[in-house]
Amino acid sequence: MKEQFQARMLRIHFTEGDKWEGEPLYKAIITKCMELGIGGATVFRAIEGFGASARIYHARTLSISKNAPILVTVIDTEEQIQKLLPHLDRMIQGGLVASSIVEAIRYTPADRPPKT
C-alpha cells in the first residue's frame, strides 16, 4: 500500500558521548519517539565532523572516548513532531536541530498494516 502525505523531518545533531539520564542520548531520543508513537526514527554515526564546540572528530583517531558525531533523523506529521519538540528541548544540552517540510511516501505491504 502506498500513502502520500506532507510531513516534517527533524535532523538532530549531537555526539555519541552525550547522555540523558545515564543512557546514550540517541537511545533516549529513539525511546521517546517510540513512546510518543512517532512513525520512525533512524540514528546515523558519522565518520568525521565538528560542531559548535569546534572539536574535530575522526573515526581513524584511536581514541577510546566515543565521541563520533551522531545524526538522528525523525519523520512524521507536523502534529506528531510538535509533540516531540518540548522533549528535545529538555534532553539536548549541546547540539543542533534542523527542521524541514518534506513530501513523504509510505509503503506498507498489503498483508501487514502498520501498527498504530
Partner 1 sequence: MLTPGKALKVSIYLSEGSTHHGASTYSSILDFLYFRGCSGATVLKGVAGFGADHRIHTSHSVEISDRLPLRIEFIETPEKVHELLGKLEEMVGTGMIEVQETTIAKPAQLSKPQKAPVPQHIKLEGKAQMMRIFIGESDRWHDQPLHEALIRAMRANDLAGATVYRGILGYGAHRRVHKEKPLSLSHDASIMISVIDTEQKLQQFLPIVDDMVEEGLVVLSEVDIIKYSPRASESVE
Q: Report, in Å, the least distance between residue 106 CB and partner 1.
A: 5
Nearer to partner 1, 42 or 93 (CB): 42
Q: How far is the CB of 41 from partner 1 (least distance, A)?
A: 6
3-state DSSP call for residue 38? coil
Q: Which is nearer to partner 1, 19 or 27 (CB)?
A: 27
Q: What CA–CA distance (Å, rounded) separates 72 from 31? A: 12
Q: What phi and psi values does residue 105 have, to the nearest 5 degrees?
A: -125, 120
> Residues 76-115: x/- map of binding to partner 1 (CB under 8 A)?
------------------------xxxxxxxxxx--x-xx
**In this complex, which beta carbon is closest to partner 1, that of residue 19 or of residue 45?**
45
Q: Cell for 15?
A: 555526539
**∠ Cα 92 96 98 (to 5°):** 120
**d(C-alpha 58, C-alpha 41), whole Å:** 25
Contact between 73 and partner 1 per CB under 8 A: yes
